Amino acid sequence: MASLKDEVLAKLAGVSGPDGAPLTATGKLSDIVVSDGKVFLSITVDADRVKQWESVRERAEKAVRAVPGVHSVMIALTAERAGGAGGAPPPRRPQMPTEGARPREGAPGAAQAPAGIPGVAAIIAVASGKGGVGKSTVAVNLALGLRDLGLKVGILDADIYGPSLPKLLAIRERPQTVGGTRLKPIVRHGLAVMSIGFLVEEETPMIWRGPMVMSALTQMLREVEWGTLDVMVVDMPPGTGDAQLTMAQQVPLKGAVIVSTPQDLALIDARRGIAMFRRVNVPVLGIVENMSTFICPHCGTRSDIFGHGGARHEAERLGVPFLGEVPLAIEIREKSDSGAPVVATDPDGPHTKIFRDIAARVRQGLAAESRPAPKIVIEA
Ligand SMILES: Nc1ncnc2c1ncn2[C@@H]1O[C@H](COP(=O)(O)OP(=O)(O)OP(=O)(O)O)[C@@H](O)[C@H]1O
Ligand SMILES: [Mg+2]
């Protein structure tokens, strides 16, 4: 019996490229990833021929969608950089439509802001310039802290290359589809959760190009039944490169929370993160200092392993709110890594209080951002 991948290939062979050759003979197809009825692939094209290829992409998606057993299809166009300097650049505009986009004033290079998600009142990013500073841990516990304030909260794992939410929330099941095409988020501890990690096997090596990442993100934002949410927390991939900048532009963000450890190197990256969000006109709601102080669980002695207070000073210097300090605690690490986040499983503990206080400050910041600017009356 032919595998689903073979059937997809056979269908693609029936679609012709702009020059009439079968798509499979153009040498432009990426490897095809098939997982649980979901098909992902990209077509690499010359930047100046994107227009001709767009209709091919649409026909290819339609053809693959008709294969029995295929639930969803994502085919992205990848434009090679002029001069062929290696890897493809992330697109300035997504291949997926962003209908109803409204201009975000004053954002250089971002003439159009993406449309909001119906039913979702506010989307906030949790980001860091540097990897491994505890962004995903903070994102999950912040989302739970917002839940404890009585809000309806969702969390989206935008880290396509290294999704963490399946592990942090111990989710092993796969999301169900609604009406054949839309996905239902998985509900855990009262949070609506979506991650690319639910759709692909943990061991699958994901070599995704910029546009593919963007369409995966767009699908997780717009083709998921999020329902009515007060806040959606987006766990961003680390870094401040082109890919992150494009993401920050494509997600309709109300604000960003920056996570940093206290040492100088991490702070330099945090500064870059703040600059990136400012560039695309997304308000920075504040900085969280993570792994701030270590309190020995045996003797109670404090040690400032990575220094202490650096993020607070940096926040003051840059004129952004300081949201709080999360200590380096074995309990936080153990609970995070075993899928039982501290705010959900230790509701009366000291670390939960810290995350709830951070959540309260984030909500305050969001409320301030939503308030209309005061009218300035100039008297003649
Ligand atoms: N406050 C903390 N105390 C102790 N351990 C922590 C703390 N915050 C995070 N960790 C641990 O540090 C590791 C990295 O955390 P996490 O995965 O949240 O970081 P990240 O910034 O999202 O990483 P990546 O850049 O890979 O996405 C995990 O093992 C996590 O449990
Ligand atoms: Mg992470």
Q: What is the 3-state secondary structure (H, E, C) of 218-265?
A: HHHHHCECCCCEEEEEEECCCCCCHHHHHHHHHCCCCEEEEEECCCHH
Say what the pLDDT of residue 83 is: 35
The pLDDT value given to residue 214:
77
Quote the tokens at residue 62.
Answer: 């339609």
Q: 27: CA distance to ligand 2 center in Å? A: 35
Output the pLDDT for position 1. Answer: 67
Q: Measure CA 144 to chain center.
A: 17
Position 104 scores a pLDDT of 40
Burial class, 249, CB count within 10 angstroms (exposed 0-12 / middle 13-18 / buried 19+): buried
Q: How far is the CA of 95 from the centre of ligand 1 (A)?
A: 33
Cα 331 to Cα 244: distance, rounded to the nearest angstrom = 31
pLDDT value, residue 375? 55
CA-CA-CA-CA torsion for 14, 15, 21, 23, nearest 10 degrees?
A: -100
Ligand 1 centroid, distance to 360 Cα (angstroms): 22
| Distance in angstroms (rounded) separating the CA atoms of residues 341 and 153 | 15
Query: Which uninterrupted H or E stretch holds 75?
Result: strand 72-80
Q: What tokens were used for 170?
A: 């111990």
Residue 91 φ/ψ, nearest 5 degrees: -75, 150
CA of 311 to the centre of ligand 1 (A): 17
pTM of the model: 0.73
3-state secondary structure of 16: strand
The answer to whether 245 and 213 have CB atoms below 8 angstroms apart is no
- Dihedrals φ, ψ of 238, to 5°? -70, 155
Nearest alpha carbon, ligand 1 atom 26: 132
CA distance 358 to 322: 9
Tens of pLDDT along the chain (380 residues) come to 678 999 999 999 999 999 899 999 988 887 787 777 888 787 877 767 877 888 898 899 999 999 999 888 878 776 654 433 333 333 333 333 233 333 343 444 444 567 888 999 999 999 998 888 999 999 999 999 999 999 999 999 998 878 899 999 999 988 888 877 788 999 999 999 999 888 776 666 566 666 677 778 888 888 899 999 999 999 998 888 777 787 788 888 999 999 998 876 667 888 888 999 988 899 999 999 998 877 777 777 777 766 677 788 888 888 999 999 999 998 999 999 999 999 999 999 999 999 999 999 999 999 988 766 555 555 44
Judged by its nearest atom, the ligand closest to the C-alpha of residue 195 is 2
* 6 ligand 1 Cβ < 6 A: no
Tell me the DSSP string of 276-336.
HHHHTTPPEEEEEEEEEEEE-TTT--EE-BTBSSHHHHHHHHHT--EEEEEEE-HHHHHHH
302-303 and 284-295 strand pairing: antiparallel
Amino acid 123: pLDDT: 95
Task: Give residue 305's pLDDT.
Answer: 66
Ligand 1 contact via 140 beta carbon (within 6 Å): no
pLDDT value, residue 178: 84
Cβ-contact 261, 137 below 8 angstroms: no
What contacts 81, CB < 8 A, 6 or more positions away?
Answer: 47, 87, 88, 89
Would the CB of 329 count as within 6 Å of ligand 1?
A: yes
Q: Using CB atoms within 10 Å of the CB of residue 303, give its burial: 0 to 12 exposed, 13 to 18 middle, 19+ buried.
A: exposed
